[in-house]
């Protein structure tokens, strides 16, 4: 099994920035984004109660099921899409290799 996966962050201009993420540390996509200095507030620290780590999934192989807490939080966002997820709820796993996300605005 690979020790890292690649996650891509699509910018507003369409450029995709590749991030290497270790699969053996139990990190979330939110933590990987913050470690790479992306502007993700993550006010609640990954508890799925603030939605300040909202991303839109543009491409993925296999996402885990969304929890009820995550779905409820996303329902409250005016700019959520069918592809919205909270990056704090996406754990880095080999199945996420090649994931492409766009960081969504807070307002």
Stretch 77-85: mean pLDDT: 94
CA–CA dist 76, 60 (Å, integer): 24
The CATH number given to whatever domain includes residue 61 is 3.10.20.30
Task: HSE, CB side, 13 Å, CA atoms: give it for residue 50.
Answer: 14
CA–CA dist 10, 18 (Å, integer): 9
Give the mean pLDDT of the chain: 94
Per the structure, the count of domains in the chain is 1
Q: pLDDT of 3-51, one tens digit each?
A: 999 999 999 999 999 999 999 999 999 999 999 999 999 999 999 999 9
What is the residue range of 11's domain? 4-103
What is the pTM for the complete model shown?
Answer: 0.93
Task: HSE, CB side, 13 Å, CA atoms: give it for residue 54.
Answer: 22
Position 2 scores a pLDDT of 74
């Amino acid at each position: 099994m690979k020790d890292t996966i690649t996650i891509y962050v699509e910018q507003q201009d369409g450029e995709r920035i590749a991030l290497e993420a270790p699969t053996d540390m139990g990190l979330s996509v939110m933590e990987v984004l913050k470690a790479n200095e992306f502007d993700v507030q993550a006010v609640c620290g990954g508890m799925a109660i603030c939605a300040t780590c909202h991303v839109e999934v543009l491409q993925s192989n296999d996402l885990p099921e969304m929890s009820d807490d995550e779905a409820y939080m996303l329902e409250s966002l005016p700019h959520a899409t069918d592809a919205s997820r909270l990056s704090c709820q996406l754990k880095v796993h080999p199945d996420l290799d090649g994931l492409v996300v766009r960081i969504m605005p807070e307002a």
